[in-house]
Amino acid sequence: MMAGIRFEFATAGRIIFGGGALAEVGGIAAQLGRSALVLRSGSASRAAPLLAALADRLPFAEFVVRSEPTTGIVRDAVAQATAAGCDVIIGMGGGSVLDCGKAVAALLANGGDPLDYLEVIGRGQPLDKPSLPFVAIPTTSGTGAEVTRNAVLSSPEHRVKVSLRSPYLLPRVALVDPLLTCDMPPHLTASTGLDALTQLIEPFVSVRANPVTDAFCREGIARVVRSLRLAYREPANPSAREDMATASLLGGMALANSGLGTVHGFASVLGGMFEAPHGAVCAALLPHVMQANVKALQTREPQSPSLRRYHEVACLVVGDPGAAIEDGIGWVTGLCTELGILPLRAYGLTTADFRDVVEKTTVASSTKANPIALTTTELTHVLERAL
């Protein structure tokens, strides 16, 4: 008898989506705890509506996340939350703030140091206890961090980004208000939007793809196709922002349950080595990894389901059921050019770095879900084309 498919699906305990949803955060937080630590980006004006919504409901302390989260930043936030007696964590910002919040909520419940639990550079111990309640409020449309079960942290001393991973990292509440993304500048709309697209394509062709996440990926890709250019040109367009917030949410649920691929394998390495925005790095790599994967599949695994899925992606993005895979790759390449995506050399990458980057990418967690294992030569060629 054929074994059939097997998969699991997990996401945030509760998802609240809609324009103006931020107004509900006070009541939500008051149900979850007695005192909150609010993690936010450096913009006080952006955080003002959140703080106003909390003011009459429960006491809170603020912690500003001024960069991508490092192990040191997480330690500092844990110390502040402990000193203030906080029992609920709220994060409002991009992926950096949300990942920091997930890590803080987990460490407050489990104790210890980030290196006790981090993969690759740490001891990789599992989290034994559920995190403190965490409310995730994204202000960008790209990472999907409000519904993922990992927290990406940088370790400057190791020059790498690595993850805490556990179902316990899933936020208790994901509150997605598309109106919070309307003030994103065009370059950030572009890079986060292409990150969202990457996080819809990679799970769809992943070796761990499943029927539930397939549906999310198809719907999300369609929304990116019709709205990313519009959001880039008209930042305050509510329909475009709603589409992109939805696509990001769907991509987060997809990647959390079906994995990613070599684009994110590269991005985790490059993000630890260079001052390079995650979404921009993914965008610079996406068409070249797609091309490398397709060529490798055609050569070594021509019957792979992932090859047929790349063809479906092409049909979705081009809007033509007769589109060829190459048409889809060309569409993605053209979109990256139109949105002003910079090559990797803009962030300091040189050919002298290729060997180190390739070696680290080969063992990166995201790479394990790639539809085919790319050779060292193939990975090097991706960097050459993206440079």
Domain hosting 220: range is 186-386
* Residue 150, φ and ψ in degrees, nearest 5: -140, 160
Convert the pLDDT of each residue in 196-225 to its tens digit: 999 999 999 999 999 999 999 999 999 999
Q: How confident is the model at residue 158 (pLDDT cuts 50, 70, 90)?
A: confident
pLDDT at 1 over 80: no
Return the percentage of the chain with pLDDT > 70, whole number.
99
CA dihedral 208→209→211→216, nearest 10 degrees, is 130
pLDDT at 121 over 90: no
Domain boundary among 181, 198, 229: 181
Return the percentage of the chain with pLDDT > 90, whole number.
90
Kindly state whether residue 9 falls inside one of the protein's structural domains. Answer: no
146 and 110, same structural domain? yes
Q: What is the pLDDT of residue 67?
A: 87
Distances (CA, A) of 280 to 23, 197, 295, 358, 380: 31, 12, 24, 19, 19
Kindly state whether residue 4 falls inside one of the protein's structural domains. Answer: no
190 and 127, same structural domain? no
356 and 209, same structural domain? yes
234 and 133, same structural domain? no
The residues that bridge with 62 in the sheet, in sequence order, are 38
What is the number of structural domains in the chain? 2
191 and 92, same structural domain? no
pLDDT at 2 over 80: no
Residue in the structure block whose two tokens are 């003011």: 55
Distances (CA, A) of 175 to 144, 146, 217, 344: 12, 8, 20, 33
194 and 311, same structural domain? yes
pLDDT at 105 over 90: yes
197 and 125, same structural domain? no
Q: How confident is the model at residue 3 (pLDDT cuts 50, 70, 90)?
A: low
